[in-house]
Structure 1
Amino acid sequence: MREITLRQVEVIRAVMLRGTIGGAAELLGVSAPGISRLVKHTEEALGLRLFERKAGLFVPSVEAGKIFDQVREVYKGVENLQSAISSLQKGEEVQLAFASAPSVAQFIAARAIKSIRARYPDLYIDLNILKIEETADYLLLERGEFVIMSSAIHNPGMQSEKLANGRVVAILPEGHPLAEQDVVSVHDLAKEPLVGIDPDDPYGRTVSRPFREAGIELRHSMRGRFAQTIVSLVRHGLGVALIDEFSVSEVYLPGVVRKPLLEETSIDIYVVTKKDRVLSNFAEFSIQQFRRELNDAGKRWPERRG
């Protein structure tokens, strides 16, 4: 006995739904004679009468009832599969967990997530804010798929890939005398109350590098732990600071003036993942969005040099 093909199942179902050869042909977008021949061939091959012809309609025969029940189940399974695929494409009932350094989380993360949400409108997103020393536990214990950091992580269980390169910039309170200059030097900033992050911190070490390279002793009048804190202190007129351009990459930043630094200093941003872990499609797409937003960051503030 010959086996029934998926095409034969599709034709049988179409005749079941429409009740006529012509209706089935219209549903499948093929010719009516072709449908008629395939139904006849299927009945002969199976040795079963699938349909009764009554008043011009094709009615499922009683003896083939179990076959039609199975046809319905097959298509119910296909519909469920299509529904599952559609849900996955939209991100329904799935979660994406990742983390970011505070400097990137301030503005870049929100813009990247906006693009992620547009692509996967129902995806649940769990964003964590981490310091560099918290990255290993987060990734190795698989609490999230990736971390965006301003330093590469040197750990045999993790791998770092550079996403973007940015600049260290000066930030000043609105109305500050240095705000009139096109470019600011660390020699200018050293004469002002300086706020910043501990230079023993990896991020703090990067943004304070221009002072070290200029041979200027770094003396903070006050320190904060996160870039957002530094921006807030400057906004309230408590000092001037050096910071990465990603932390201030908004078009409007009330109370703060951004200025290019004469002693040009770069800062790299990395995506860090657990070595050999296969990332979800959601994570891979998200990393692409971070890469794009990071590389566009400097275009978002008007004070930057061309």
Structure 2
Amino acid sequence: MLTLRQIEVVRAIMITGTIAGAAKLLNVSAPGISRLMKHTERTLRLKLFERRHGRYVPTPEAKDIFEQINGVYRKVDDLHSMLARIERGGDVEFKLGSVPSICHVMVPRAIERLRRKHPDLRIDINILKIEEALDYLLLGKGEIVAMSYKLDHPGLDFMPLAMGELLCIVPQNHALAGRTSISAREIVSHELIGIDPTDPYGRIMSEIFQRQGLHYDMAIKARFGTTVCSLVRAGLGIAIIDQFTVAHGSMQGIATIPIEEPTHFQTYMAMKNDKALSLYAETFVKLLREEMNAVVGPRLARSS
């Protein structure tokens, strides 16, 4: 029985024709190659090489062995090529979904880093409402979904992503724009543009208002954070938004103000629980978590 090391040495001698050449090819000492070659011939009870004019010439039997060894190396080369193709993401499409609040800024930043690691990877991104995420995963339309809260479902697992908080947003030229914080009581004294109270983020703020007995009225409601930001920029009022939607100054024409009351929320990555994540999904989750944690404010970091 030949070991992989013996196969490697036999092939190196056949390619180079000398012990010294084989040693250089394998980056080892020549005496070590010579000893291993003699041991191999004793083990096989077969002469593999004859020395002629300072070179090692394979015997007819060794030539047959060499053909088999080359076949092994061709298979190894094929394996290396396949591994390199996997590393680059070749011939693969990675499908993921995200709720709008995470997809607007955070997902593109993570995708840019993912493509640097796997430059040939094809990516299909779907912006989903929360109620659409279940079918997307259960019907196998995509591998993972970034979500603003988790659901109870026997077929899904939820992996924590990052803790975030809500912010008050006002037009850039608003009287409140220079404030370092604002209370719920102050917020309701202004014209308020609202996210739907049944939305996970909208529910957090509406519960704060209710606990404090604060009456609030929203003449304008909007489902998605980017629409809310545009309404605020147009001077139609102030609003509450999650910090990920407005991260890295993505929304021009508005100012953000921390809210004095706790408004923490946990985000999650959802996936089917009967299937292992791909290399690309695992890497993306890691990168997305890093991007989201990078925008978490010091106040939230201290409290978590």
Q: Same fold (TM over 0.5)?
A: yes
Q: Tell me how far apart the structure 2 counterparts of residues 58 and 264 of structure 1 sit (CA, whole Å).
A: 79
1:281 and 2:294 correspond: no
**Counterpart of 2:33?**
35
1:156 and 2:160 correspond: no
Q: 1:170 aligns with which of 165, 168, 171?
A: 168
AA aligned to 1:260 is: P
Using the TM superposition, give the Cα deviation of residue 52 of structure 1 relative to its aligned residue in structure 2, in angstroms.
Answer: 4.0
Q: Count residues with an aligned counterpart.
A: 298
AA aligned to 1:256 is: I
**Counterpart of 2:58?**
60
AA aligned to 1:282 is: Y
For the structure 1 residues 53 and 238, does the alpha-carbon distance in structure 2 shift closer, same or farther, using more than 3 Å as the test? same
Instruction: Report the secondary structure of 1:247's partner residue.
Output: coil
- Stretch deviating more after TM superposition (286-295 or 12-21): 286-295
Using the TM superposition, give the Cα deviation of residue 107 of structure 1 relative to its aligned residue in structure 2, in angstroms.
Answer: 0.9
- Stretch deviating more after TM superposition (19-28 or 35-44): 35-44
Using the TM superposition, give the Cα deviation of residue 44 of structure 1 relative to its aligned residue in structure 2, in angstroms.
Answer: 4.4
Using the TM superposition, give the Cα deviation of residue 233 of structure 1 relative to its aligned residue in structure 2, in angstroms.
Answer: 1.3
The 8 Å contact of residues 15 and 58 in structure 1, kept in 2 or not, is answered as yes
AA aligned to 2:193 is: V
CA deviation profile, 1:94-136 (whole Å, cap 9, x unmatched): 3322211100111111222233233333332222211110111
- Stretch deviating more after TM superposition (122-131 or 103-112): 122-131
AA aligned to 1:103 is: S
Unaligned 5+ residue runs, structure 2?
299-304
CA deviation profile, 1:47-73 (whole Å, cap 9, x unmatched): 444334333222333343321111111
The 8 Å contact of residues 171 and 233 in structure 2, kept in 1 or not, is answered as yes
Fraction of identical pairs, as percent: 45
1:134 and 2:135 correspond: no
Using the TM superposition, give the Cα deviation of residue 271 of structure 1 relative to its aligned residue in structure 2, in angstroms.
Answer: 1.7
**Counterpart of 1:304?**
none
The 8 Å contact of residues 19 and 59 in structure 1, kept in 2 or not, is answered as yes
Q: Tell me how far apart the structure 1 counterparts of residues 2 and 163 of structure 2 sit (CA, whole Å).
A: 60
Unaligned 5+ residue runs, structure 1?
301-306
Q: Tell me how far apart the structure 1 counterparts of residues 156 and 69 of structure 2 sit (CA, whole Å).
A: 50
CA deviation profile, 1:9-33 (whole Å, cap 9, x unmatched): 1111101111111111222233323
Q: Tell me how far apart the structure 1 counterparts of residues 249 and 226 of structure 2 sit (CA, whole Å).
A: 16
**Counterpart of 2:196?**
198
Q: 2:184 aligns with which of 186, 190, 207?
A: 186
Could you state the TM-score of these two structures normalised by the residue count of structure 1?
0.88
Alignment of 1:1-306 (within 5 A): 3-251=1-249, 253-299=251-297
Q: Tell me how far apart the structure 2 counterparts of residues 224 and 166 of structure 1 sit (CA, whole Å).
A: 21
For the structure 1 residues 61 and 228, does the alpha-carbon distance in structure 2 shift closer, same or farther, using more than 3 Å as the test? same
Q: Tell me how far apart the structure 1 counterparts of residues 297 and 53 of structure 2 sit (CA, whole Å).
A: 73
AA aligned to 2:197 is: P
The 8 Å contact of residues 166 and 201 in structure 2, kept in 1 or not, is answered as no
Could you state the TM-score of these two structures normalised by the residue count of structure 2?
0.88
- Stretch deviating more after TM superposition (36-45 or 122-131): 36-45
Q: Tell me how far apart the structure 1 counterparts of residues 36 and 79 of structure 2 sit (CA, whole Å).
A: 27
For the structure 1 residues 217 and 277, does the alpha-carbon distance in structure 2 shift closer, same or farther, using more than 3 Å as the test? farther
AA aligned to 1:235 is: R
Q: Tell me how far apart the structure 2 counterparts of residues 225 and 120 of structure 1 sit (CA, whole Å).
A: 34
The 8 Å contact of residues 208 and 242 in structure 1, kept in 2 or not, is answered as no
Instruction: Report the secondary structure of 1:12's partner residue.
Output: helix
The 8 Å contact of residues 249 and 298 in structure 1, kept in 2 or not, is answered as no
The 8 Å contact of residues 105 and 250 in structure 2, kept in 1 or not, is answered as no
